[in-house]
C-alpha cells in the first residue's frame, strides 16, 4: 500500500509541478546570513512509542538527522530552540483551560504540564546550556510565544525547522516564520507525521508556497560554513 501511495504521489507531484512552475510558484527563498535551528515537538509524547501523538520514522531518520544539525549548530554558535507543548489545565470541562478549543479536535489533554516526562524534549537530542526550551499552546511555534522577538534580537534571518508533524505544527511554524519575515528552510529527513503520505504531500506543498525543502546534508553544510 505504501509503495502504491508513493507512486501515486509522485505522479501527482509531477503534474502539480508543471502547473506551479507555469504560474510562478516554487521560487527559492534561499539561505541567509544568520541561521537558527527550531526543533518542533520532538518531545517524548511525539517521539516515544505508546502515545496518541507518536510519529513514524523517529528513531531511524528524524533523531539521527537532528543530532547532526545540533552538532553543526553547537560547533558554530548558532541559536537552537527546542519547542514543546503542554497545558496547565487539562480538564476538558473547565472553561478556563489553556487548551482553548483544540481539545475538541485532538487529545491535547494528555500533555499535562504536571507530567514533565511526557512533554520533555527527547533525551537523545536534549537541550544543553544556552539553548531555549519554548512551550507553546497552539500548533505554530510563533503563535502567542516570544519566538519571533527572540530570533530578531539574536539577528537571525534564517530558520531551519525540524520536527512533527508535517501536516500541523511544523507546517504552521514555517508559514508563520515566513510571515514574520524569516527565510524558512524545512529539513526534509527531519520532519515526520503519523499518517502515510502526510510528510510527502505537505513537504511538496510547503516547498511550493512557504519554505525551501532542503536535505539534511545541505543544511549541515550550510550550518558548518556560515559564520555564527
Active site residues: 169
Cα dihedral sign, 96-102-105-110: negative
Give per-residue burial for 181-212: e unless 16+ CB within 10 Å, then b: ebbbbbbbbbbbbbeeebbbbbbbbbbbebbb
- C-alpha 219/C-alpha 67 separation (Å) is 12
- C-alpha 168/C-alpha 92 separation (Å) is 22
> What cell numbers appear for 134 in the block?
519554548
Neighbours of 178 (CB within 10 A): 17
Are residues 63 and 90 in contact, defined by beta-carbon separation less than 8 angstroms? no
Please state the φ and ψ torsions of residue 80, each to the nearest 5 degrees: -125, 130
Amino acid at each position: 500500500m505504501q509503495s502504491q501511495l508513493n507512486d501515486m504521489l509522485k505522479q501527482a507531484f509531477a503534474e502539480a509541478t508543471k502547473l506551479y512552475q507555469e504560474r510562478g510558484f516554487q521560487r527559492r527563498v534561499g539561505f541567509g546570513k544568520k541561521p537558527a535551528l527550531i526543533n518542533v515537538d520532538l518531545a517524548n509524547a511525539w517521539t516515544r512509542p505508546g502515545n496518541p501523538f507518536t510519529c513514524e520514522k523517529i528513531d531511524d531518520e528524524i533523531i539521527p538527522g537532528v543530532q547532526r544539525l545540533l552538532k553543526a549548530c553547537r560547533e558554530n554558535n548558532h541559536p537552537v530552540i527546542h519547542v514543546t507543548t503542554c497545558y496547565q489545565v487539562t480538564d476538558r470541562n473547565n472553561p478556563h483551560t489553556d487548551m482553548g478549543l483544540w481539545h475538541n479536535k485532538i487529545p491535547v489533554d494528555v500533555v499535562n504540564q504536571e507530567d514533565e516526562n511526557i512533554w520533555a524534549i527527547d533525551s537523545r537530542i536534549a537541550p544543553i546550556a544556552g539553548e531555549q526550551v519554548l512551550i507553546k499552546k497552539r500548533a505554530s511555534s510563533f503563535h502567542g510565544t516570544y519566538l519571533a522577538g527572540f530570533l530578531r534580537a539574536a539577528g537571525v534571518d534564517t530558520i531551519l525547522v525540524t520536527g512533527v508533524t508535517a501536516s500541523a505544527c511544523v507546517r504552521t511554524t514555517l508559514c508563520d516564520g515566513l510571515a514574520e519575515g524569516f527565510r524558512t528552510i524545512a529539513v526534509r529527513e527531519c520532519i515526520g507525521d503519523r499518517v502515510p503520505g502526510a510528510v510527502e504531500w505537505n513537504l511538496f506543498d510547503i516547498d511550493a508556497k512557504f519554505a525551501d525543502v532542503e536535505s539534511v546534508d545541505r543544511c549541515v553544510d550550510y550550518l558548518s560554513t556560515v559564520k555564527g
